[in-house]
Amino acid sequence: MLSNNDGCAIARTHEAKDLGLTMGEPWHIASKRPGLEPVIWMSSNYALYGDMSRRMYEVLSANAPAVEPYSIDEMFLDLTGVADPLLLAHRIRDLVRQIAKIPTCVGIGPTKTIAKLANKAAKSYRSGTGVCDLSTEDARAAAYPGIDISDVWGLGPASAAKLARRGVTNVAAFVALPQDEVRELLTVVGARTHAELKGVNCIPFSQTPPTRKSLAVTRSFGRAVTEKRELEQAIASYATRAAEKLRRHGLVATAMQVFVRTNEFNKDPKYFNQTTFDIEPTSDTLSLVKDALRAGRRLWRPGFRYAKAGVVLLDLACPQEGPVDLFPSIDIERRAADVGAGFRQHALWPKNADAGLHRHPTRLVDEASETVSAIRRYSTS
C-alpha cells in the first residue's frame, strides 16, 4: 500500500517484506529494483480505511466487555470476567472477517505490552490460527527467549541499541534484568515496560481516547509546482480539508504551521521553509484558509520547483476548553449560518464537502473578498 500521491510504501504483506521492501521506501525507486516485479501495489484510500475501522469497532463493542481504540487498525479489549478469552478471541476474529471483510490477529495477555507482543507473535506465525495467548507465566517463559527485544512495544531503536551493548537481545534477557538497572538505563518509561512484561499492569485501560493535540494535511504534488498561484491553491485546499477534520472531531485549533519544500531526492535546487504561529481559536474554514494563505505567501520564493506543502493545526482543544477571545474577529454562529445557507444555496460549497468527497474545484472566499480556487488534485482524502 502506497502513501498519498503513491509516494512511499506504508503497508506491506509478509511476502513483500520477504522481498526486502521496507517501510517508507519511495516506490518509484523500489519498483525498479530487481526481484520486486511480482509486487502488486495499490493507492491508499483513507476514507475506506476509516469505514472499515468503524465496522471493526462495532463488532468488538458488541462482543467484548470494553473496547479502547488505539489506532485506525488496532484496538485493546478488556476481557475481565470473560470465562474463556481464547474462545472469544477466535469468535471475534471470525466475526471481523465476516462483517468487516478484513483479516485480523489477536494477542492475549495480562497487560497491554504483553497483549501487543502476543499480537505480533500471532502475525509472525503465518500457518497458525491468528491468535496467540501469553496470559500465563508458562506461555511467556516459553515464548520470550525467541522474541527479539526490538519487537517490544515501548522500546525504540535507541533503547534496543543500549540493551544490545549489554548483551540483552531478547525479551527473556530483558525481563531477567534487575528493575533498578532497567530504570537507570532506560528511565521510568523503560522500567514501566519491564514491569508490564513481567505481568504487572502499569498502563491503564481507557475507553475514552485522548484528545488529539495536532492535525496535519500534507501531500506531495503530482508534478513540480512553479507558479505562486498553484501553490496557493494547494495550501487553500489543505486548510479546507484540515478544517473539515477539525469539525469532525469537535475541536478548535489555536495555532497553525504551514510548510513548503522542494524535492529532496532529485537535482533541483533545494528549499524548505515553514512558519508556526498562533491563531484565533477556530474551526472555521474561511478563517483557517485566510491564515494559511497569508503564511504561504510569506514562504513563497520564486525560482524553485515545489514538490510538497502542508498545513498543520496545533494546540487543539475542545471549544469550551480553549482560550477565550473577548474581541473575536469573526462571529462563529453567523459564519456557520452563512456557510450552511448562502454558500450551499449558491453552489459555492459542495453539499458533500464536509465528507471530504469533493468532485469539482471549490471556491473559497475569505473575508477580504479574495477568491482562491481549491483544485481537487492537491487535496487529500
pTM > 0.75: yes or no: no
Report which of 379, 347, 374 is spatially closest to residue 363, judged by C-alpha positions. Answer: 374
Whether the per-residue pLDDT at 226 is higher than 70: the answer is yes
pLDDT tens track for 20-38 = 888 888 887 888 888 888 8
Going 196 to 198 to 201 to 202, the CA torsion angle's sign is negative
Q: Which residues contact 306 (CB under 8 A, 6 or more apart)?
A: 221, 224, 225, 226, 231, 260, 261, 262, 271
- Quote the cell numbers at residue 135: 496470559
**Cα–Cα distance, 220 to 244 (Å, whole number):** 20
Read off the pLDDT of residues 237-289 as tens digits, 9 standing for 90 and up.
999 999 999 998 889 999 999 999 999 888 899 999 999 999 999 999 999 99
Reply yes or no on whether the pLDDT at 198 is more than 60: yes
Write the pLDDT tens digit of every residue in 47-82: 788 888 889 999 999 999 999 988 888 999 999 999
Give the model's pLDDT for residue 328: 56
CA separation for the pair 274, 299 (Å, rounded): 7
pLDDT of residue 25: 85
Spatial contact of 297 and 345, defined as CB atoms under 8 Å apart: no
Show me where the domains of the chain are located.
Answer: 214-378
Rounded Cα gap, residues 21 and 172, in angstroms: 29
Task: Note the maximum CA span of the chain.
Answer: 70
Instruction: List C-alpha distances in Å: 98 to 24, 103, 136, 282.
Output: 31, 9, 30, 41
What fold is seen in the domain 214-378?
Answer: Dna Ligase; domain 1 (3.30.1490)
Q: How many residues does the chain have?
A: 381
pLDDT of residue 211: 67
Q: What is the dihedral of CA 222, 226, 232, 238, to 10 degrees?
A: 20
